[in-house]
Amino acid sequence: MSYESVILAMDLGTSGMKVALITVGGKVLGWDSEPVKLILTQDGGAEQDPQEWWQAFLQAASRLIERGLTPLDNIKAVCCSTQGEGTVAVDQSGNALMNCVLWMDMRGEKFLKQHFKGLVNVTGAGLSNTLRWIRLTGGMPSMTGKDPAAHMLLIRDAYPEVYARTYKFLNVLDFLNLKLTGRFTATFDSILTSWVTDNRDPDRIHYDDDLVKRSGIDREKLPEIVKCTDVIGELKCEVADALGLKPGVKVVAGAIDNTAAAIGAGTAGDFDTHLYIGTSSWMAAHVPFKKTDIVSSMASVPCAVPGRYLLTGLQATAGGNLTFLRDNIIYHKDELLQEADVPDIFKVLDQITERTPAGSNGVIYTPWIWGERAPVEDRTLRAGIYNLSLNNHREDIIRAFLEGIAMNTRWLMDPFEKFMGRKLQRINIVGGGAQSDVWCQIFADVLKVEIRQVSDPVQANARGAAWIGAVGLGEIKFGDLQALTQIRKTYTPNAVNRALYDERFDIFKTIYKQMNGVYRKLNS
């Protein structure tokens, strides 16, 4: 048994809570999980109960620690990675006053546009506001209403009694850190999408008085800002007792999911790129400059690595399309499927995909099942299956889903490379989708780059949190991560498939050009 220092890492996604015990060297000793419910409201909202997150953490972490995977003295810190762009209103005692408004929630759109409209508007916001945001923050609020800038206005205008009682607005990460330590903080990355900070110095992210004033939110309702690697306190005594941990365990501030994944993928160096394939997907790389590409909805923003920004191209849904295929098509509970036992469906999908030829016998899938964010931001886009004939089978549709998500990633990669000013040669892949060997090969063929499958890819966020925690404790440096990162397998592009996918990619882009107007009419 290794007596290396260990971090208790939390990874809270939209579907559930994962906790892991991870050494400072990146070895996953063990993990546990607990699901959390997604609440969809009648008015189009998407919420979760913050108290359910906390109970899920206590339950999963207690089970994990009870397994005795490492001596308790070895557990030096707790550090979190969480979903981002959620908003929790809390009172002075730290109690949540309502459910968290999630990153999927678009109810704040009308309040955002009402508040920030001007004489000349850019995608729904006044030109002067847009220019100020981009100059100071590097980005601007999503006019879909999906981030805290809109969430806070939603609460202010639609729930005034909650707003009046709100002591602080916290992102998901910040709420959990409050529960761990009793301290009201936000990190360099968690505060970003409130769009009230001056981000021009990556090591000194701070509130800008003018942006705060223009936000419409009272300044005192915004938390203190800390670095991702700051030790923000010790684990509260009652929490340590509940988990069976010894006193003195430190809490490091941590990061939201895309920041943590960039660390957990071992891509902390300049221009080292990772691809995350989960419910949503993104491509990200650390860069030494602040820059914004409005057309492609990409920017380099504050992150965990000192002196650096994280370029992130976020796409709305990736593996979420497969969950839709599983739950709504293949195993939809109706008269055709009574009480069938569902196997490990994703392994079965891999087997089917492997025996289906590249190109899916002509079937093309566009994966915009919840709109899109980059390289175009358009909430009206929808998924589609194209070129079906009587000669096609379910196998073709299954492979087309995987290929379509890879095509969408290639669509993002073109502006991503232009942003960095260089061509990508290799990409580290992490997330649940990275467990699929056949999908990794599809990504290599479609993207025309070397794909490196990181070991334990599902634990990338937790490992990123652990490494951020280890840096915060002074145990390692970010420069050590490339050597510490274990690669399970490397996939190189297949020349024959590359030519086929080049042709299909041109068709994929043509589908967008010809269909985006149709989707706008149907869904706006």
Q: Residues 476-496: what's their mean pLDDT?
A: 96
Look over the chain and give the mean of its residue pLDDT values, rounded to a whole number.
Answer: 93
Tens-digit pLDDT profile for residues 55-104:
999 999 999 999 999 999 999 999 999 999 999 999 999 999 999 999 98
In this predicted structure, the answer to whether residue 334 has a pLDDT above a threshold of 80 is no
Buried b / exposed e along 222-260 (16+ C-beta atoms within 10 A): bbebbbbbbbbbbbbeebbeebebeeebbbbbbbbbbbb
Identity (one letter) of the amino acid at 451? I
Q: How confident is the model at residue 337 (pLDDT cuts 50, 70, 90)?
A: very low
Q: Which of 349, 277, 282, 276 is nearest to 311 (CA)?
A: 282
pLDDT at residue 178 in the model: 98
pLDDT at residue 57 in the model: 98
In this predicted structure, the answer to whether residue 338 has a pLDDT above a threshold of 50 is no
Phi and psi angles of residue 470, each rounded to the nearest 5 degrees, phi first: -65, -40
Cβ proximity of 205 and 32 under 8 Å: no
Phi and psi angles of residue 95, each rounded to the nearest 5 degrees, phi first: -85, 135
Residue 165 CB neighbour total at 10 angstroms:
15
In this predicted structure, the answer to whether residue 483 has a pLDDT above a threshold of 60 is yes
Tens-digit pLDDT profile for residues 431-482:
999 999 999 999 999 999 999 999 999 999 999 999 999 999 999 999 999 9
Q: Residues 490-512: what's their mean pLDDT?
A: 96
Q: List alpha helices for 120-256, DSSP H.
A: 127-137, 148-158, 160-165, 172-181, 209-215, 237-243
pLDDT at residue 343 in the model: 59
Domains detected in the chain: 85-170+190-226 (3.30.420.40)
In this predicted structure, the answer to whether residue 112 has a pLDDT above a threshold of 60 is yes
- Does residue 128 or residue 210 have the better pLDDT? 210
Tens-digit pLDDT profile for residues 266-307:
999 999 999 999 878 899 999 999 999 988 888 999 999 999
Q: How far is CA 408 from the centre of its chain?
A: 17
**What are the CA-CA distances from residue 137 to residues 416, 421, 430 (Å)?**
19, 21, 28
pLDDT at residue 332 in the model: 58
Q: How confident is the model at residue 339 (pLDDT cuts 50, 70, 90)?
A: very low
For residue 331, with 0-12 CB atoms within 10 Å meaning exposed, 13-18 middle and 19 or more buried, which class applies?
middle
In this predicted structure, the answer to whether residue 147 has a pLDDT above a threshold of 90 is yes
Q: Residue 386 corresponds to which tokens in the numbers above?
A: 């194209």
Q: Residues 198-203: what's their mean pLDDT?
A: 97
Predicted model pTM:
0.90
In this predicted structure, the answer to whether residue 344 has a pLDDT above a threshold of 80 is no
Residue 514 CB neighbour total at 10 angstroms:
9
Give the least confident one: 61-65, 170-174, 370-374: 370-374
Cβ proximity of 459 and 27 under 8 Å: no
Q: Residue 7 corresponds to which tokens in the numbers above?
A: 């971090």
Tens-digit pLDDT profile for residues 212-229:
999 999 999 999 999 999
Share of the chain above pLDDT 90, in %: 80
pLDDT at residue 144 in the model: 85
State the pairing for strand pair 450-454/487-491: antiparallel
Q: How confident is the model at residue 333 (pLDDT cuts 50, 70, 90)?
A: low
